[in-house]
Chain A
Amino acid sequence: MKFMKDINFLMAVIWLVLCLAGLSALNWYKLLPGPVGKISVFWPHNIPLERDRSVYNLVLFAHPKCECTHASLIELEKLLIETKKKMKVVIFFYHPKGTEPGWTSGDSKDLSLKLKMTEVYDDRGGEIARRFGAMTSGQVMVYNPDGKLVFAGGITESRGHIGSNPGTRSIASVVTKGVPIISNQNTFGCLLFSEQEMKEYQR
C-alpha cells in the first residue's frame, strides 16, 4: 500500500499511459491508408503499353523516393516467386514534371530492375497512374488475361512494413488458383501527386 501511495507510482502510471498513447499514435499513422482514385476496371486503351493476353498483368505504381516502396518491392518479389511465370509485372515510377531525367534513380529503382519478368518505366507527370486511377505509392492493380480488374490495393499491411498481408495472399490466390480472396485492399505509402496535381487530377 505504501508503494501504491508513492508519488513515483502515479508518475509511472501517467508515463505508461503516455508511452502507450505514443505507440498507438504511431500504429494509427502506419495504418492510415492513402487515397484511391477512380480505378480502371478494364485495362485502359489509351496508354502506350500493351497487356500480355496470355497471363495475368500486374501494374505497380511507386514513388521512387518513398521508403514504403522498398517494402512493396520485397513483397512483389515474393509474389513473383509464388506465382512463377503466370504473371507479367510492370512497375511505373512516378516522375514529376519539371524534374531532371535521373530523378527516379535510387535504391527502389535498382531493386525493381533486378526483379525477373518485370518491366520498369518512368511515369512522366503521373499520366499512366491517372489512367489507371492510382494516387498512392504502392498501388497495385491486377488484370486477368481478358483485361478485367481482379485486384486493386496495396501489398503491404501498413506503411513500409514488410511481411505477409491480405494483398499478396489475394493476388497469389487469384493468379495461381483463379480464386480471389479480396478484390480491394488499402494502400499504404506516400502520395504520388502534390496537392495541386491532385486538384487537376480530380478535375
Chain B
Amino acid sequence: MVGSNSLVGLDEIQLKISQNSKKLFFDSYKQLCIDNDRVFAVLLGLQWIAAIVVAVVISPKTWIGAQDLVNVHIYAAAIIGGLLSIFPIYLIWKNPGAEINRYANVIAQGLYSALFIHLSGGRIETHFHVFGSLAFFAFYRDIKVLLVGSIIVTVDHLIRGIWFPQSAFGVLAQADWKWVEHAAWVMFEDFFLGYTCIRGIKEMKLVAQKTAEVMMQHEHAEEIIKKRTDTIKDQQMNLVHASKMSALGEMAGGIAHEINNPLTIISSTCSFLKKLVAKEQLDPVVVKKCLDDIDKTIFRIAKIIQGLKTVSRDTSGEEFISVKLRDLMDDVVGLCSEKFKNHGISFIIDLSHPVYDQTIECRRIQISQIFINLLANSYDAIENLPERWIRIECKDLTDTIEFKIFDSGQGIPLDIQEKVFQPFFTTKPIGKGTGLGLSLSISIVKDHCGIFSIDNENPNTCFVMRLPYVRKAA
C-alpha cells in the first residue's frame, strides 16, 4: 500500500512539474513575443522614416520642362510606408505578443523590401533588406512565422517577377526563372535560421522544465520549513508562557499571603458577628461596619485574582486595545505589591499622578508581563541588599510614554549589558530564572514600535521603556 501511495505521489509530482513547465514555457515564449513585437514596432517606425528620407534624398522632384513637382516617391514613401507601419504597430500596442502580430510584422517587413527596392531605383544592395528581415523573423523562434515570411517573399518575387521584374529583382532581371534562384537563397538562409529556431525553442523548454523542477523542490522545502517554523513557534509560545508563569510563580507567595490575610479578616469578622448573634447584641452600626470590612476585603481579593487572571492568560493572538495606564498598572501593582511588602521592600508608584489618566494602544497582557518580569528581576537583585526599594516613574513625552523602573541595585555591569537581552542568559541561580524575561520584553517592545534600554546615567539600576501612545504601522 505504501509503495502504491508513493507511486501515486510521484505521478502527481511529475504531472505538476509537467504542468508548471508548460506554463513557464508559455509565459517565457509570450514575453519573447512581446519583446520581439516591440523591436518590430520600433523597426517599422524607423523604416517609415527611412523610406521618406530615401525618397527625399534620391528622388525629391519630378520635372515637366523647367517646372518641378514633388516626386511620387515621396507620397509613396509617406502613404505606403505609413500603411505598412501603422497597422502592425497598432496591433502590437493593442495586444503585444498576440499571434496575429507576428504575421502582420512579417507581411509588412516583406512589403517594405519591395518599397525600398522601388525607392532606391532597384539597387541590388536593397536585397540585403530581404535577408536581414528573415533574420528578424527568426527572433520569434517560430518555424511557422519563418515559413510564412519566406513564402511571402517568394510569392511576392514570383508575382512581381512575372509582371514587374525590376521591382522585384532590381538590376538582376534577366530571366523568368530568377525568382527560383531568389527562393533558393531564401531557403538557404531559412535552413540555418530554422535550425536556430528549433534549437532556441528546445532550450526554452529545457529551461522551463528545469525551472519547474527547482520550483517544485523549493515548494517542498518551503513546506518543510513552514512545518518546522510552526513547531518552533509553538515551542517558543510554550517557552514564553512558561517564562511568564515562572515570573508569576515567584510572585505567588505574596499573592497567597495577600489572599490569606483578608480571608483571616473575613473569618474573624464572621466569628465576631456569630458571637454577637449568639448573645443577641446585634448593634446595627457595628454589624454595618463589620459587613463593610468584609466587602472591602472581598473587593481586594477579587482585584488580586483579576490581575492574576489577566496576566496569566494566553497572549497568542492578543489584539491591540486602548488601555488606561492606571488600569494597566493596577494589574501589576495588585500582583506584586504584597510580596514586596512582606519582604520589606518599598514599592513606590504614584498612581494618582495625572499621567496615569492617559490611554495607550497596546497588547495589555504583554505589557503587564514586561512589568512583572522587570519587577521580579528587581526583587531578585535587591532581595539581600540592606537598602531595598523599587520605584516606577511614568512621564509623558508628547507622542510616547516613558516608563522608568528603578531599584536600589547598583546597576548592570557594562560587560553583560548586551548579554542580558539574549535569550536564556541569566545571572540567577539554576531553577530560579528562565533567562527569557528580558529577551521577551525587548521583543514585545519592538512589536509595539517602542524602545527598551538600560539607563546607565543613573547610579541605581534603571530600565527605560518608551511606547508610542498610538500604534504605528509596521
Contact = CB atoms under 8 A, between A and B. Distances in A.
A26 B118 contact: yes
Contact of A23 (B95, B115, B169): B115
Q: How large is the interface on A (under 10, 10 to 19, 20 to 34, 35 or more residues)?
A: 35 or more
A19 B121 contact: no
Interface in A133-162: 137, 157-158, 160-162
A87 to B, nearest CB: 22
Contacts of B4: none
A67 interface: yes
Contact of A191 (B65, B103, B163): B65
B67 interface: yes
Contacts of A94: 65
Given A12-B100, A163-B166, A99 B66 contact: yes
Interface residues of B, number: 48
B107 to A, nearest CB: 6
A163 B67 contact: no
Interface in B168-202: 169-174
B114 interface: yes
B97 interface: no
A67 B58 contact: yes
Contacts of B66: 96, 98-99, 103, 194
Interface in B364-394: none
A163 B172 contact: yes
B79 interface: yes
B367 to A, nearest CB: 64
B100 A3 contact: yes
Contacts of A163: 122, 166, 169-173
Interface string B147-182: 000000000000010011111011111100000000
Interface string A149-192: 00000000110111111000000000000000000000000111
Contact of B83 (A19, A63, A190): A19
B91 interface: yes
Residue among B65, B67, B95, B164 with max Cβ neighbours from chain A (10 Å): B65
A42 interface: no
Contact of A15 (B72, B87, B94): B87
A6 B61 contact: no
A192 B65 contact: yes
Interface string B216-233: 000000000000000000
B123 to A, nearest CB: 7
B167 A158 contact: yes
Contact of B166 (A26, A161, A194): A161
Contacts of A162: 121-123, 170-171
B84 A65 contact: no
B65 A22 contact: no
A49 interface: no
A117 interface: no
A101 to B, nearest CB: 14
B259 interface: no
Interface of B: 58-68, 71-72, 76, 79-80, 83-84, 87, 91, 94-95, 98-100, 103-104, 107-108, 111, 114-115, 118, 121-123, 160, 163-167, 169-174
Interface of A: 3, 6, 8-9, 11-12, 15-16, 18-20, 22-23, 25-27, 29-31, 63, 65-67, 70-71, 94, 96, 98-99, 103, 137, 157-158, 160-165, 190-195, 197
Given A163-B172, A197-B65, 18 more contacts: A8-B94, A8-B95, A15-B83, A16-B107, A19-B80, A20-B111, A23-B111, A26-B118, A27-B167, A63-B63, A65-B68, A67-B121, A99-B66, A157-B166, A161-B121, A161-B122, A164-B172, A190-B63
5 contacts: A19-B84, A27-B164, A67-B59, A160-B59, A161-B121
